Structure formats: structure tokens, C-alpha cells
Amino acid sequence: MTTLRLHPWTLVHSLLGRSAVIAVILVPTMMGRNSDSSILLPIILVYFACIAIPFTLAAYYRFRYWTTPTEIVIHSGIFTRNKRHIPYERIQNIGVERNMVARILGTAIVRIETASSSEAEGILKYVDTAEADRIRSILKEYRQDVQPVGTDLPSEVAVTEESLPTFTLTTRRLFLSGVFRFSLLFVAVAYYGLQYAQELWGLDDAVIGAWMSQILPEIYEAGEGPVRWLFVVGMLVAAILLAWLSGIILQVVRYFGFKLVLDDARLHKRHGLLTVVEGVIPLKRIQALIIRTQPLMRRYGWYRLKIQTVGLDRAQVGHQVGIPFATLPEVLAVASHIRPFTIPVSFHRVSRRTIRRRSIRYLIALSVLVAFSSTLWNQALWFLLLAPACLWLAYDQWRKHQYAIEGGFLFVRKGVFAQKMWVIPKDRFQVFYRTATYFQRRLGLRTVLVDTAGGLEWSNPGIIDLAANDADKLMLDLYEEFNHQAASL
Amino acid sequence: MQHLEPAVITVWRIKAAMVWTGLVAGMVFIDIAVSVGGDGPLFGFLRSACTILIGSAWTAVIPSLRYRFWRYVLRSADLYVERGIWNRVYTVVPLRRIQHIDVSQDVIERNFDLGRLIVHTAGHRSSRVVVPGLPYNEAESLRGELKNAVAEDAV
């Protein structure tokens, strides 16, 4: 175990980087008309003597790393000292990067990546080429010792698409899917169209402003009674039609010729009208499945499938479209091919006290909003008529919030407008949370969340407002499922 | 259940005081600018006074409260963490979900010989689970224990 330092060229690299910083700050001042270049030199000298050189040296000498038979250890940091231990078995990828300068100097950047969601876990910037190869080969040897069978996927197998389960979106279906999608794209199109028209015909702002602020109200004023209403309704219908039309166009452009092919290890996806997007999602990178719908789509039996993934590439982390538009049986067929499961017959509900907590929250939000807007507009008090809607929302959220554990999966349903169902396999559980805010504690309520890799903060499968006992039981059940899976591995 | 080292309260106080001193300085600057700007001392130095008041109350109360609700224990298969004043959060980190481990120490912590154990997992919310206010040796030995427990497991 020898302690190693980075290649000495690192000093030059980082000093160059720090010089660039001061250049960026100073160049604009030098460009100034009445700049006094005589103070420039002292500033630069002080910067290098007090900041750039000491920090570069300190960072270089504080940075040490070494490899043991089981892990890579990295010590770093000037003021905040950090000691990082990365076990080999956690390393997913070691990237070696050589840019122009590095190549000339015979150095490389080594990036050590684990599955952790934070930024690249270990960066050795810079080491010489031989050292980069050594680190890579250590990992390779370790892998061969521990896992004789390569875990990597077989390289590109010819996909005989006919024999594999395939999902395609017919053009008719594609248009239908657009029908359920409203988009405000037309607002942007109208805006740029107007700008273009302005330039083309040399109109100035005043003309268009006059049209917007005078002619439209004039039409409105000119009519009386029913004509006025007809005008308002006509404008609304036009806006909705435009939103509808642009929704269809967007959907067609994005998902034209959608095709999903499933082989034993991967999902192959291909779609798009102008830009054809092709993607491969290895099944073992899939963390959770999300079946989505909204009230209107649900009414006619249409659903979407989203897939939560993590990958070696950070762009692959997050939610990806699995199927943009299909019936529930079709969605389930594909989903079950990815991870075999059946939707449980019965779900549990959270505590009814959630209705009380949510109602109070929404009513307070509404009152604050009305109080603020009534200082600006004296008719704002009418919005208080929305109070029953708050109560209904709270009730419906309770009704639609359900969960179940069955067959090694956690199922969580939630959402009034965007209705989602998470399907999380127990072997993808990462960390368990049980939280309770002050108000929740007063009502004896808890929130339980199973954290997964590649999830989203604003759309998580947290089970909100369980009764305290139920929450404790659920935590135990989930943890037991998780450990059971651990034992069977 | 383990409590943190009580010295961490002082560390948190120092850090809170630093942040609030910055805010107070900003407020004093604004107040001076307003009164010099000729608008007259409408509220005098009310802004600064309020910030000082809130800041000192915060610095006095919050760190000790935070300490009171902080607890952790390393069990056979998981790291269990309990924390939070307003939102009480219980976290169970299964050891085999740990990706890598840091032991970290900043300048203030170094003066009190304290360190932080940072556990990284693949979980989206739990990419960093931090246990602050540990005696530095304790943090290092915890790291050693965790390391031994980390088993083969991939995402």
C-alpha cells in the first residue's frame, strides 16, 4: 500500500485554470476606456502569490490516493478534509479521458463511477497514462477474481424482431394519443409568427398593440347581450382548439413510428418524425415502473408507461417513456415482460385524517391568495367560492391514494389529475424513510417513502399520512420483504 | 441509540452565527444605503434589529434542538438515523445498499476533533446520508465497521 499523488503536471493544469479565472475577471476591466493598467500588475501578483499558487500547492499535497486489494482510497481537501473509500465491487465504470493538452503531456483524467446518484465519485485529475491503465487493470483483475462470469451484456446480438414481443403505435393510435394532449405551443408560435409578420410588413408595435387593446374590445363593446357572450365563447373555443391541435402535432412529431422491441435483456425503442430517437434500455438498469393516466384518458381506457432507470451515463438517469399510449392490457403485457407482476386485487388506503390536514392546507392557501389579490382587484373575494373545491380535492386525493405489497412488489397509487401507479420491485428498494412533520404528528400521521435509484423529488412514491401504527407496520413489512430478497440471493 | 457528541452544538452555533453575521451585515448595508439615500430613516434600523434578533434566537435555540433530536445506531444490517425538529425523519440505510463512504472534517470541526460520516447510496434522495458530530476516531472506526458489512450487490 503506497500512497500516491497525482502527476506533477496537475500543478500546471490547475494553475492554468486559475489564471484563466483571473483573466476572465480582468479582461473586461482592461477593455474599459479609462482603465489604469498600472494597478493590474500588483493585482495579478497578489492573486498568484496569495491565492493561485498556495491553493494549487495545498490542493496538490492534500490529494493522496492509493489502492488496496479491495478498494480505492482518496484523501482530499484543504479546509474540509475528506477521506473517501470506494470498494471495487461498487465501481460501475472507470472512464479514462485524454484531452489535447493531457495527451501531449502523456497524462489522463480517470473518472471512477459507482451507482451513487451524486456527481462522479472519484476523479483523478491528472495521472500519467501508465497509472490510468494500472487502475483500470486492477479493477479488471478484481472482477475476474470475484465474478468469473462477465456481468456485461453480450455485445449487440442481432435482434430478430419478428420473434420478439413488440409494441408498435399505429398512426391512427398516434393521432388519438394527441387528442388527449393539450399544449400551449401555439402561444409561442403565435408570438414568433407575430414578430415575423412585423418584420415582413414593417408593422410597428403600436399597430399590433392597437389591434389587441382596441379592436378586440371594440368588437366586444359593439355587440350586446348574446353577441358578447358568443364572442367570448368563440375566443375560448379557438384557444382550446389551438391547444388541442398543437398537442396532436407535438405528439405526432415526437412519437411517429413508435416501436418497442423486448428481448431477454433489453428494451429497444425507436420513434420520432423529424428526429428519430433510438434507445436501448438494459432491463437490469430498470428500477421501477410507473403507469400513468389522467381522468379523460382513463375514461376511455388509455394509459402510458414510464420507466425509471439508472445507467452508466448520467443522461440515462430518471424517467423515460416506455409506451406513450396504450390500453391497460397492452401496458401490463409490456410491463410484465420487464418484471413479471400482477396488480393486486385489494389496496390499502391511508388514514382519513389526511382529508382534514389537506383541506386545512388548501383552505389556508386559498385564503392567503384571495387576501393578496383582493388588495389589487376588489372582485377577488368571489374566488372564495372555490372553497368546496378544496374540500373535494382533499377528499379525492385520499380516495385515489392507495398502496399494496404483493408478490415482492410495492404498489403505490396517487394523484387526482395526473394519476400514477408506481410498481417497485423489492430488490430495487434502496433506503427507507419514515417522516412526520409537526402537523402530521399532531394528527398521529406519518409518511413512508421507499427511496429508489433514479427517482424524482417532485414525483415520488411516498405514502403520505398513514396512521402511526400502520406506518410502523408498513416499514417493518417493507424491510422484511427487502431482507427476504437478500437472503434468497 | 447513540447521541452525537455535545460539542457539535458549538460547531453548529459557530456556523449559524457566521451565516447570520453575513445576513446582518447585508441588512445594515441596506439600512445605511436607504437612510443616506435621502428617503429618511423610515424605520430606522428596524430591518437590522429584526435580523439581529432572529439571528441570535436562531443561533441560541436551533443547534441545541437539532442536537436533541439527532440519534443514530449502527445495527447488524443497517444504519438507522433519527433527526429533525419540525419534520422528524427516520432513515434506515441497509448496509448492502452503501456505494461508498466518506469521512469528512472542516476547519471548525477540526478544532473540536469532530468528523462527519457520509454514506453514499444509489437512492435518489439518499445519495448522501450524513452523520455529523462524531468524534473523529469514532467516525473512522464506524467507517471500518460499515466497510466490512458492505456485501456484493449491484444496482
| Residues of A whose CB is below 8 A from B106 | 79-81
What is the distance of C-alpha A245 from the center of its chain? Answer: 28
What per-residue confidence (pLDDT) applies to A1? 62
CB A451 within 8 A of CB B123: yes
pLDDT digits (tens, 9 = 90+) for B82-107: 999 999 999 999 998 998 899 999 99
Report A:375-394 residues touching B (Cβ under 8 A). Answer: none
What per-residue confidence (pLDDT) applies to A188? 73
| Residues of A whose CB is below 8 A from B120 | 114, 116, 118, 121
| Residues of B whose CB is below 8 A from A92 | 154-155
What per-residue confidence (pLDDT) applies to A155? 42
Count the helix, strand and coil residues of chain B and give each as a percent rounded to the nearest 5: 50, 25, 25
**CA–CA distance, A460 with A475 (Å, rounded to integer):** 17
What per-residue confidence (pLDDT) applies to A156? 46
What per-residue confidence (pLDDT) applies to B139? 95
- What angle separates helix A185-201 from helix A226-255, to the nearest 10 degrees? 100
ipTM of the complex: 0.91
Q: Do B154 and A435 touch (CB under 8 A)?
A: no
**CA–CA distance, A24 with A28 (Å, rounded to integer):** 7
Q: Do B100 and A486 touch (CB under 8 A)?
A: no
Longest dimension (CA), chain B: 69
Instruction: State whether residue B141 sits within 8 Å of chain A by CB.
Output: no
Nearest chain A Cα to B79, which residue? A431
What per-residue confidence (pLDDT) applies to B152? 46
Residue A220's nearest CA partner among A209, A210, A228, A212 is: A228
| Residues of A whose CB is below 8 A from B88 | 435-437, 441
Specify burial of residue A427 (Cβ count, 10 A radius: 0-12, 13-18, 19+): middle
| Residues of A whose CB is below 8 A from B152 | 89, 146
Q: Do A81 and B127 touch (CB under 8 A)?
A: no
Helix (H, G, I), strand (E, B) or coil at A9: helix
Residue from B11, B72, B89, B124 to probe the interface with A (highest A Cβ count within 10 Å): B124
CB A276 within 8 A of CB A270: yes
Report A:438-457 residues touching B (Cβ under 8 A). Answer: 438, 441, 449, 451-457
Instruction: State whether residue A36 sits within 8 Å of chain B by CB.
Output: no
- Residue B151 CB coordination number (10 Å): 15
Instruction: State whether residue B126 sits within 8 Å of chain A by CB.
Output: yes
The mean pLDDT values, 10 residues at a time, for chain A of 489 residues are 86 86 75 65 85 91 91 91 89 81 84 72 86 87 63 46 78 90 74 73 65 66 72 84 87 90 87 83 89 94 92 67 92 91 95 96 94 83 89 96 95 94 95 96 96 87 96 95 71
Of B105, B140, B153, which has the smallest distance from its Cβ to A80's Cβ? B105
pLDDT digits (tens, 9 = 90+) for B44-75: 678 889 999 999 999 999 999 999 999 999 99
Element (H, E) at A55: helix A53-62
Q: DSSP assignment of A341-389, as one string? A: ----S--EE--THHHHHHHHHHHHHHHHHHHHHHTT-TTGGGGGGGHHH
Residue A58's nearest CA partner among A10, A101, A106, A128 is: A10
Q: Do A116 and B143 touch (CB under 8 A)?
A: no
